[in-house]
Amino acid sequence: MAGRPVLHYCNARGRMEAVRWLLAAAGVQFEEKFLTSAEDLDRLRNDGSLMFQQVPMVEMDGMKLVQTRAILNYIATKYNLYGKDAKERALIDMYTEGMADLGELIITLPVGPPAQRNERIALIRDRAKDRYLPAFERVLKNHGQDYLVGNRLSRADIHVVELLYYVEELDPSLLTGFPLLQALKTRISNLPNVKKFLQPGSQRKPPLDEKVLEEARKIYKF
């Protein structure tokens, strides 16, 4: 078990799920130490583990990494999933930030006010169909390659496929009309490391349910 990254977060998707996806795609085994109470979070804060007093936090290579983008950048760099040069990294960053905008809307949907749920779902549908999915479909169409950047697997491919699974959970019809993205989803999902992560019993987390949401409220006090 020594040497494996250790992920500190609650037993839910949230901002840690992209980290799980990226580590899994890179073939990296990791441990998880779940926060189950506000006291668990306070303990990490009090012992100096959280630079900015918040999770996600990943213990890796002798560091206690916080801030989701910093964690993902480090993992992608370490496992050669961040392009071959500055131009490719810029494209990967640009695509990843776009995905994050839509992903944040989807991930935070369960924690928003119930009265606004239908309105937020409509916003997600509109943004997915009219802004984000067409943009990534165009990238694949314009360069005619199998992957988003440099015709090689990068974190951009992993993150967009994670996003496509979330979109599909919300409304499968949203992927209609985007054949290249559907093909990318199939291609990435069939990679051995990703395929294993998608199997039942893996460390991939299911959609947030009321029980997990209530536990998260107790931990983070929202």
Q: Do residue 118 and residue 145 come from a single domain? A: yes
Q: Do residue 96 and residue 158 come from a single domain? A: yes
What pLDDT is recorded for position 2? Answer: 54
How many domains does the chain fold into? Answer: 2
**Bridge partner residues of 57 (DSSP):** 8, 66
* Tens place of pLDDT per residue across the chain (222 aa): 458 999 999 999 999 999 999 999 999 999 999 999 999 999 999 999 999 999 999 999 999 999 999 999 999 999 999 999 999 999 999 999 999 989 888 888 877 778 888 899 999 999 999 999 999 999 999 999 999 999 999 999 999 999 999 999 999 999 999 999 999 999 999 999 999 999 999 999 998 777 877 887 788 776
Q: Do residue 58 and residue 123 come from a single domain? A: no
153 Cβ contact list (under 8 Å, min separation 6): 25, 81, 147, 188, 191
CATH of the domain at 104: 1.20.1050.10
Tokens found for residue 145: 């390659």
Q: Do residue 39 and residue 91 come from a single domain? A: no
Q: Do residue 60 and residue 106 come from a single domain? A: no
Q: Do residue 110 and residue 55 come from a single domain? A: no
The domain in which residue 182 lies consists of 86-191
pTM of the model: 0.94
Q: Do residue 183 and residue 206 come from a single domain? A: no
Q: Do residue 120 and residue 186 come from a single domain? A: yes
What pLDDT is recorded for position 142? Answer: 96
Contact predicate 166/30, CB 8 Å: no
Look at residue 1 and tell me if it is in a domain: no
